[in-house]
Amino acid sequence: MSYITKSPWIIHYDGSSCNGCDIEVLACLTPLYDLERFGIVNTGNPKHADVFLVTGGINEQSREVVKNTYDQMPDPKVVVAIGICATTGGVFRECYNIMGGVDKVIPVDVYVPGCAARPESIIDGVVRALGILEEKRTKMTEKGGK
Amino acid sequence: MITEIIFAIGFIILAPFIGALIGGIDRKVTARMQGRVGPPVLQPLYDVFKLFEKEKAVVRNEVNFYIFSYLIFVVFTGALFFSGSDILLVIFALTLAHAFLILGAYAATSPYSHIGAERELLQLMAVEPMLILAAAGFYMATGSFSVRDIALWPEPIVMTLPLLFVGIVYVLTIKLRKSPFDLATTHHAHQELVKGLTTEFAGPTLGMVEIAHLYETVFFLGLVWLFFASMPWVGLLAVIIVYFLEILVDNTTTRVRWQVMLRSAWLVALVAGAINLGVLTLM
Amino acid sequence: MELLVFLILFPALAALLFCILPNGRLRDTIVVLVSAVIIAVTLYLFVLFAGAGTVYFDIESGMISQIMTGLEVIISAGLLYLAAKYRQYLIAGLVVIQLGVVLYAESLINETAALNNLFIDPFSIIMAMIIGIIGSLICVYSVGYMRDYHAHHEGMPDKRRWFFALLFVFLAAMFGVVFSNNLFWLFFFWEVTTLCSFLLIGYSWDEEARKNAFWALLLNLLGGLAFAFTFVWIGLTDPSGGLVMMDTLLAAGPAVAMIPAALIGFAGLTKAAQMPFSSWLVGAMVAPTPVSALLHSSTMVKAGVYMIVRFAPIYNVTMVGYMISLVGGVTFLLASGIAISQSNAKKVLAYSTIANLGLVVACAGIGSYAAVWAAILLIVFHAIAKSLLFLSVGTVEHKIGSRNIEDMTGLLGRLPAVTVMMIIGIAGMFLAPFGMLISKWAALVAFLDAQYGFILVLLLAFGSAVTVFFWTKWLGKLIEVAWNPKPVEAKISNHEYSALVPLTVLMVAVCIGFPLLSSYLVVPYVFGIYGMAATLGQANMTIMVMMVFMVLIMPLSLLYFRKDRKILPHYMGGLSSTPDMHFKGSIGVQRPVALGNYYLADYFGEKRLSNIGNGFCIAFIAMLMITVILGVIA
């Protein structure tokens, strides 16, 4: 197992969420759920992060930011779409200003639906993302080896 | 000569692990203070290893050169210290190392790292007088700048330099990047201007900064220990107490503005230095 | 002996030639030739006298002294004329009083006893090398610089003939200062340096230049007056004139020499631009850059510290010495502080000069063997680093059209060669393995061993922290990236290069080779006076040299770091930015990113700190004067 799964640092971005999911994400960091048990730190800086948590659907304003933030993260990296809005656009998907889920802009690895997504499922989503991160890491070393 | 080299090599090999252990315990204790479980004790090591697994991404190639120099000179500083060299040279080497770190942040030329660099520079300026005064105090107490002579001094130096010891503990908070003085960058999840100084460092580059920090932690705790060198075990206890205090302060205070940091650090250095050195002169 | 006389007379005669020669290639070539000869002779002087200890030269003083007095009268008359023309009555008054005092003193002293009028010892050799090598290189540099200068300042009367003449007179006078054993002679050369600096500062002779030039003259005349009173005192205590010889005076010990030492110390403080006299050196930056380089590194201010260091043995463990030290220490701290708040590169350099001279003065005032050792090393390192910095700033100023540090953003990419030299100069001023740090180390040791030295230790500790701040932020500006740099005219004249490159080499060489410098010149001098000498210790030397090599090798790592890295854009809070760093600001407007340094003007403002410094230093100098007056009464 590589070290990346032991120390996944996250960055959290609010696309256009109602803040429900954001509060749940932050709740994960509280003593009750204590994400730091898994070495997870909320860095708030794409250059340091391995996991990108996005809440809320994507609109014209946030499109660029999500893309830019994703681009600035060094490989290997995974994206977790948190909440139904981030997954598909949710109840807002028909809105004139909403493009849809996060995967309209960047590749998403794990979808965590829910309105709002519960901390347990968020943690579960992140842990699944770690598996994918591990895979990506292996692929990267293979490629680098060649 | 041989023992000195052994000590230096011992520091170079062991310090990152000791530093990581201390960092891990720090995070564990912090978590407990907040009613959490906290990460594994070896978490700082995992973090560093992970950073080296990441892609080599930079803003500009030159940044790596500065950061690498920072790392090398921090290691050099510690090695000088633990091999018993001249303590003033140790302090100057440390300043050089930090100058490289700051230049690295400047070279990245991004708004966040720029402000981080300026703040780190302020921190450097806040700490420097206290370190030099402590070195002066050691000299007045033992008649030598050599760390070796100071360590072999038969009496506990803290008895002659109590105020300087307090001063060093005060600036230790700045050097270890603990709240309330973590202005340039921070280890906490709560952020300061994104990540301040280190905002633009990714992957292995950040890894070098982290390793340097591990070395630095060990070096500074060594400096604290030096005040008790004649009683090694008491010294160890003192180091543990001091570090615990740092954690406590870290968790109970909020970040201050740079004005407060600079003023208070200089005031502490001035008062501690003037009174302690003055009394030593008159005695 | 011929060598010394040659070094004093040759530049002076060359100056006469430059008064006649018109602008053009011929003059430029002769400037370079004369400079080369001076450098060669200085090196020969070093080879000849390095191991010889102190050598005195017996020169008949009668005739020469009369010529000097005559010249002094002529100079005074000239100054009186200028002072009257520009209504500087204070200066006129000082000139008259000074001349009167000197003539009166000369009538008191029977100078026929004076024999060993010239001398050379290791300290003189060091000073001569600084003057000969660095001063000459600056002269070479000015050839290229002044051509650009007049191209940039059209409409200004082209007085380059005078300019070059004055530069060489200046060098001649400086040689005179460091070779004279007869204090009358020394005083004559001392006054010539004052005159030269006055004329050079006022080179452009516009309103500001004139004002600053007269201000410099006024303060230096004040010092000259104190110097002149020394002769009165000598004349009254010892009419035989034996004490006019510096070696006799110094050998007489503090009991006899205290009062002259204090007066000369005061003169030295004015010339070395210590607070409260520092303002003249700051004002002097209106002059063309080579003049600043000359004033700051190899001449003028160095004459001030030279005298104070010469008299250091007298100051050892005395009230007078301690007061001088405090003036130096306070100046070091506060001038460094002021440098933080300045964005004008020349002003930063000016304040840093004042600060470093403060450190030298503080060491000399302590006057122990370790302190003198530190002081001399400081003089050497400072002279090289500062001349290099001034000259590189001068070149940069002509190329980018600004001397503001904020405009130097990304200079490393725009003018690589000059910037690398500038970086080496800055590193030499404060970074660990390089020169100044060694001296700081030595100064600290010296202060700790001195009586009540802990106050100076405090000043040094805070001062050096401040130094780190303003130099590092300047360095940072140089290595940052400029996103849309203004195009720079890259061609730099050969004359400028031929001064910059040797200075850079010299800087690195001195950093690596300072143990040799110390053991061949500084230690013999210090040992000759005190019978013991400070050294750095073998282990520390090794560490220092090791660090220099580490820093020099480090850039090789770039070869490794250049490979297979992915370049990421800057983080701008998630918004994208253009390659030339514009970002979308509020309401969608494109804005450029602008980064500036901290100047902390509320804390380190020029006015605020100058006032504090002047207050303290005036108090210390008053105490010094009280000591003198009490001494005279007793």
* pLDDT given at position C453: 85
* Environment class of B3 (CB within 10 Å of its CB; exposed 0-12, middle 13-18, buried 19+): exposed
- The reply to whether residue A29 touches residue B194, judged by beta carbons under 8 angstroms, is no
Dihedral angle, C-alpha B182, B186, B187, B189, nearest 10 °: 110
* pLDDT given at position B243: 94
Mutate to test the interface with C, among B67, B70, B75, B110 (most CBs of C within 10 A): B110
DSSP-assigned letters across all residues of A30-83: STTT-GGGGT-EE---TTT-SEEEEES-EEHHHHHHHHHHHHHSPSS-EEEEEH
Would you say C404 and C343 are in contact if contact means Cβ atoms under 8 Å apart? yes
- The token duo for C61 is 């003083």
Chain B residues 204-223 with CB within 8 Å of chain C: none
- The reply to whether residue C441 touches residue B57, judged by beta carbons under 8 angstroms, is no
How close A84 gets to chain B, by Cα (Å)? Answer: 26
* pLDDT given at position B133: 93
Helix then strand then coil, % of chain C, to nearest 5: 75, 5, 20
The pLDDT of C128-140, averaged and rounded, is 91
- The reply to whether residue A72 touches residue C568, judged by beta carbons under 8 angstroms, is yes
CA dist., res. A15 & res. A62, Å (int): 6
Length reported for chain B: 283
How close B62 gets to chain C, by Cα (Å)? Answer: 7
Whether residue A61 lies within 8 A of chain C, CB to CB, comes out as no
The residue ranges of every structural domain in chain A are 3-145
The pLDDT of C57-71, averaged and rounded, is 82
How do B57-58 and A98-100 pair as beta strands?
Answer: unpaired
Nearest to C543 among B56, B85, B281 (CB): B85
Residue stretches of chain A with pLDDT short of 50? 146
Over residues C514-530, the pLDDT tens digits come to 888 888 888 888 888 88
How close C574 gets to chain A, by Cα (Å)? Answer: 5
- The reply to whether residue A39 touches residue B55, judged by beta carbons under 8 angstroms, is no
Whole-prediction pTM: 0.93
How close A125 gets to chain B, by Cα (Å)? Answer: 19
Buried b / exposed e over C218-257, threshold 16 CB at 10 Å, is bbbbbbbbbbbbbbbbbbeebeebbbbbbebbbebebebb
Long-range contacts of B232-236 (CB under 8 A, 24+ apart): B234/B156
φ, ψ at A51 (rounded to 5°): -120, 130
Tens place of pLDDT for every residue, chain B, 283 residues? 788 888 889 899 999 999 999 999 999 999 999 888 889 999 999 999 988 888 888 888 888 889 999 999 999 999 999 998 889 889 989 998 999 999 999 988 888 888 989 999 999 999 999 999 999 999 988 988 889 999 999 988 988 999 999 999 999 999 998 888 888 887 776 666 778 888 888 888 899 999 999 999 999 999 999 999 888 999 999 999 999 999 999 989 888 888 999 999 999 999 999 999 999 888 7
- The reply to whether residue C568 touches residue A64, judged by beta carbons under 8 angstroms, is no
* pLDDT given at position A146: 47
Over residues A127-142, the pLDDT tens digits come to 899 889 888 888 887 7
From chain B, pick out residues whose CB is under 8 angstroms from the CB of C469. Answer: 121-122, 124-125
- The reply to whether residue C558 touches residue B62, judged by beta carbons under 8 angstroms, is yes
Mutate to test the interface with C, among A12, A61, A65 (most CBs of C within 10 A): A65
pLDDT exceeds 80 at position C249: yes
- The reply to whether residue B198 touches residue A48, judged by beta carbons under 8 angstroms, is yes
Alpha-helical (H) ranges within B34-86 are 43-53, 61-82
The pLDDT of C201-217, averaged and rounded, is 89
Chains contacting B (3+ CB pairs below 8 angstroms):
A, C
* pLDDT given at position B189: 63
Instruction: Classify C586 in phi/psi space as left (phi over 0), alpha (psi -120 to 50) or beta.
Output: beta
CATH of A3-145, one of 3.40.50.12280, 1.20.1740.10, 3.90.79.10, 3.30.565.10: 3.40.50.12280
* pLDDT given at position B213: 93
Supply the mean pLDDT for chain C.
86
Residue A100's SS3 state is strand
Q: Which residues, other chains included, contact C46 with Cβ-Cβ below 8 Å and sequence gap of 6+? A: C125, C128, C129
Would you say C56 and C181 are in contact if contact means Cβ atoms under 8 Å apart? yes
Mutate to test the interface with B, among C543, C557, C562, C581 (most CBs of B within 10 A): C543
pLDDT exceeds 80 at position C610: yes
